[in-house]
Structure 1
Amino acid sequence: MIPWLDPHSTEFPPISEAVDDPNGLLAAGGDLSPARLITAYSRGIFPWFNPGEPILWWSPDPRCTLKPEKIHISRSLRKAIRKTTFDITFDRAFDEVIQACAAPRAYSEDTWISPEMQQAYKDLHTQGFAHSVELWQDGELCGGLYGIAMGRLFFGESMFSRRTNASKIAFTCFSRQLAKWGYALIDCQIENEHLTSLGAENIPRQRFQQYLNEYLAEQPDHSWHFDIDIDDVV
């Protein structure tokens, strides 16, 4: 049995107590308050649950991650970046990005990014923790992603595309920017084909914890503005 969180405390069980099946399930209950979410991410824990379920908290082993400087750009993606006219912005349309990420996908009508979850990350955005990346073409928002920045770590949450390769281009440009800012790691949470095609790989949870211990306390000095020439991305 997994423990239920104390509604009056933001503490979590040690991540070593997460179960193996399903991989990484640690606890249930609590809320999505900014204080609890910040505590969770700082411990290597994230919420993931379907609408109608209790809030579930996870810390899988292994953990899917990507070093920003190790972003893999395939020949086809490199060609797409060079041929596509687009603009990259940060935090210009956070609400639109998270709503787009929550929209049903072609392969599923379900979404785990409920209105409650959306509001929680909007609150974190207001407090300066959550950030969005937008890719624009002809003034239209065509792709992007959002997540949490703490120290020199970025915890990715979700991405979306409305045109071919839009999310991959946005993620690639963002990775280049994070590398320039000196970020150590992007947390991708759980491995999937889309992420591995961009260079993400699994590392042991203990190694991920070492990144948290080493880089969370560092405070990078930068504004959230994309300042890399597109030619330098590829």
Structure 2
Amino acid sequence: MPTASATVTVQPSAPIATGTETTLTLLVLATGGISPLLVVAATANSSFSLQVLFWALGLPGMAIVAAVYLYARAAGLERLQNRIAVGVTGGITLTLALDLVRGAGVHLGYLPDSITMFGNLITGAQPMAGPTPASYTLGAVYHLFNGISFALVYSILFGRTRWWGPVLYAVLFVETAMMTLPPMEPQFGPFGLDKYGTIFNGYYLITLLAHLAMGLALAADIGCMARHRGLLPALLTRRPTTQPAP
């Protein structure tokens, strides 16, 4: 008599990833997600400079992301194509939302102009010297790359989630990293405590609002565009396929 066998579907909404898709996904995660770390490395260690890291890693990294996206479209890798598209559009959206609040903070004097700082570091000038049109443009490009990086990382690792997922990611992860890592922590201390002596200061509160806006913008993009779970939810819910009974 034939024996019945039970199977468990790992991801009912999408096919199992091929080796090519997995490799390309990890490549995009590495090359597209590295951008925010470049300024941390450049300001934490004098052996590195953003002037070198931007051209050697940041710009080529985003070029690789674009090339993988085009390949995914041509090869019919819809899930990878969607994840990258969500990362790029989400990065643009969250950067605009972040800048609405960040710009107010710069105008009120609570925040340095990060675009000016980025551009000057890329061109080798003093961080807060008066920007040139070229340096400010490069700073804006790098600032946008950072936004795309944050959205790409979320899109690949978490994928389609409830709205509060991107908000927690932006507030707990991105905001905390900004408050405790270079280039901001050496200037203000963690959460602005060195300069202001209290956590209830304009620097911390404005950046917190900026990252809240960033998270809500990313949540809207995820809700509208993302069609798949990310790597982590898929990994955590995956169960071994039941083998046929002997």
Shorter-chain-normalised TM-score: which range? under 0.3
Instruction: Decide which structure has the larger Cα Rg and report it.
Output: 2
Q: Which has the higher helix share?
A: 2
Higher relative CO (CA 8 A, sep ≥ 6), structure 1 or 2?
Answer: 2
TM-score by length of 1: 0.25
